Amino acid sequence: MVDKIHGLTVEELERLDVGSLRAILHERTHHGIEVVIYRILKGKMEKPPNLGEEAKVLLRIWEKRELPMDTPDIEWVKKNIEMAEKLNAGETFDTGLELPKPFSESEMATVKKLLYGRRSIRQFRNEPVPDWMIEEILYAGLMSPQGCNVDSRRFIVLRDPEKWKLVQSDIPLDYGVMIIVCQDIRVYQALKFDKAAPQNIYFDAATAADHICLMAHALGLGACWLTHGELTQKRIRNYFKLPETFVTRCHIIVGWPDESPIKSQRMSLKDSIVVNG
């Protein structure tokens, strides 16, 4: 019998904003099933009674509220619950998925081109960036790792040069698209992560921004991660009438490259390894 989840009763969960409910559902699926089930299957851990019970309760609330049941994340929740139910029924199973394998030589060459060939590009040609490319870029951002799979990331895509003026940074954008990486911080408040692991909030935005830059590079576009401050955060919030709990973190300018800078270099790897024991 589940009494409260993250300190909230079923009635409170039924009234909770959707973003926070989704975050709690993801987190309970993640910690309540995903991170333990494969260890249980390997015999490294005892199965707790009613594995995945909280995720089941949350999914019922989600369904009762008539929220979409066929989105990729909810499908993932359902699969996890199915697996947990099998174990609860004394069955065992195999995901049927292959173990990760090393990339082939040519695949590795592509990965290196992606990771080491990327460089910040700050000037762009006056050519339109197709919508499908922006979608591919945003999807890469969304799929980046995130603490407890909370899904806090939100994006604002600005194609209109007039709206670029809302964002203040050291690099002006003449042509291209501006992507603002934002977060709904209610999800962290609901999970109390704003107190327990506040650094994860920034990391979650950063992984998305990094994936965005990498996908832009793979598409032959240039991109640069840019910093903005609180003034920009406020202007964006006010202009788009977004709540206080909606924060912008950074923006990335994307477009067809019109400069070919020397790739910046780092200290030697040897100097960066402090302990290797």
Ligand X SMILES: Cc1cc2nc3c(=O)[nH]c(=O)nc-3n(C[C@H](O)[C@H](O)[C@H](O)COP(=O)(O)O)c2cc1C
Q: Which residue's CB is nearer to ligand X, number 227 or number 260?
A: 227
The yes or no reply on residue 170 touching ligand X (CB under 6 A) is yes
Report, in Å, the least distance between residue 157 CB and ligand X.
19
Give whichever of 51 and 226 is closer to ligand X, judged by the CB atom.
Answer: 226
Strands (E) in 44-190, as ranges, are 153-158, 177-184
Q: Nearest CA to 164 among 259, 223, 257, 239?
A: 239
Pattern 212-251, binding to ligand X, x per CB under 6 A? Answer: ------------xxxx------------------------
Q: Between residue 171 and residue 200, which ones bind ligand X under the rule CB under 6 A?
A: 171
Shortest spacing between CB 104 and ligand X, in angstroms: 26
Nearest residue to 155 (alpha-carbon basis) of 184, 130, 179: 179
Residue nearer to ligand X on the CB measure, 143 or 171: 171
Q: Is 169 in the site for ligand X (CB under 6 A)?
A: yes
Neighbours of 184 (CB within 10 A): 23
Report which of 255, 247, 230 is spatially closest to residue 181, judged by C-alpha positions: 247
Task: Please classify residue 62 by burial: count the beta carbons closer than 10 Å to its beta carbon, then call 0-12 exposed, 13-18 middle and 19+ buried.
Answer: buried
Closest CA to 83 of 27, 29, 37: 37
Task: Tell me how far, at minimum, the Cβ of 250 lies from ligand X, in Å.
Answer: 6
Return d(Cα 170, Cα 167) in angstroms, integer.
10
Among 120, 123, 152, 233, binds ligand X (CB under 6 A): 120
Residues 36-95 that bind ligand X (CB under 6 A): none
**Cβ closer to ligand X: 62 or 164?**
164
In terms of phi and psi (left: phi > 0; alpha: psi -120 to 50; beta: otherwise), the region of 266 is: beta
Residue from 264, 268, 272, 276 in contact with ligand X (CB under 6 A): 264
**Which stretches of the chain bind ligand X, using CB under 6 A?**
119-120, 122, 169-171, 224-227, 264
